[in-house]
Amino acid sequence: MPQDKPADAAERLSVRPVICYESDKLPPIDVGAMQASFARAKTVERVIVPARDAACFEVPAGAFFRILNPEGHQVGDLNLWARDDINERFYSGKTRQLQASHVTVGDHLWSNLPYLNPLATVVDDSLAWYGIDEYGGSVHDVIGTRCDPYTNFRLRGEDYDNCCHSNLTRALASHLGLAAEDAELHVHDVINVFMCTGFTPDTHQYFMKATPARAGDSISFYAHKALLGGLSACPGGNCGSSHSDDATPCFPLVVEILAAELPLSLVPDERLNGRYSGGHGLR
């Protein structure tokens, strides 16, 4: 039954919002120095991610990785772990609070608690021009998760084994020599590279629309520490109609690892260094 609005509803509704996390208070991270280094970096390895499949790749600390869309019209689901301890991994929730719902040049990708380190920083994005469209949509979101067989079964009662969750699980298991059941527990919410998403203005439901990515588009990252990445070329293809099925044309993605010419002398502030271990009495 609809509730009547209280007499002071207008007053309550008009309270002005404030930014929840003041990311401008973060110790400075020199993105300009990363971009200058990236401009001179050389490709040392290329990893092909086949359509409707995933692959893992490793990035040394201080190096870069570029995700290329050779054919365009393809979305990727990216997982990131600290290479030397995969319990530390990308944390989409805090990244969206500290940065934004969609990431672009200058945004940092943060790791889970209790680590909360910048794992990577976006140094180049050929779709930065897209901004926020008339539907409130934008690209490279950290609000969605990965398509998975469990949700698909709940919604449609069908088995589909090439969801990004399954692809990432198999790729991680193969890369680290783990059983699939063990690897699956390390697969986490993703950066939806090239995907165009937002929330509907009336019901705030998650929507997708066909990616604006075309052949040659790319997004590139600086690795703050040695990283293990997993990338799935989503079975949803351009994610303009469906996912979790073989209905949409799908294309491969490519990951390039680029070595810096000279090591960057990024001296992080002590607040961004290592693992904070105080403040709450738990250890």
| Residues near Zn ion, by CB under 5 A | 77, 147, 164, 234
Question: How far apart, in whole angstroms, are the C-alpha atoms of residue 152 and residue 154?
Answer: 6
For Zn ion, which is the closer residue by CB, 77 or 217? 77
The first and second tokens of residue 124, run together, are 């180049």
For Zn ion, which is the closer residue by CB, 53 or 77? 77
Q: How far is the CB of 26 from Zn ion (least distance, A)?
A: 31
Q: How far is the CB of 188 from Zn ion (least distance, A)?
A: 14
Q: How far is the CB of 161 from Zn ion (least distance, A)?
A: 12
Q: How far is the CB of 81 from Zn ion (least distance, A)?
A: 19
Q: How far is the CB of 138 from Zn ion (least distance, A)?
A: 18
For Zn ion, which is the closer residue by CB, 74 or 117? 74
For Zn ion, which is the closer residue by CB, 48 or 113? 48
For Zn ion, which is the closer residue by CB, 35 or 242? 242
162, 180, 210, 255, 257 from 171: Cα distances, Å: 12, 9, 26, 14, 18
The first and second tokens of residue 227, run together, are 């990283």
Q: How far is the CB of 39 from Zn ion (least distance, A)?
A: 32
Residues 6+ apart with CB under 8 A from 209: 135, 137, 196, 197, 239, 240
Smallest CA-to-CA distance from 184 within 10, 6, 54, 48 is with 54
For Zn ion, which is the closer residue by CB, 213 or 264? 213
Question: Mind giving me the DSSP string for 203-247?
Answer: T--EEEE----BTTEEEEEEESS-EEEEEEE-TTTTSSS--SSS-
178, 236, 258, 264 from 240: Cα distances, Å: 34, 8, 31, 40
For Zn ion, which is the closer residue by CB, 63 or 234? 234
Q: How far is the CB of 147 from Zn ion (least distance, A)?
A: 3
Residues 6+ apart with CB under 8 A from 157: none
Element (H, E) at 98: helix 92-98
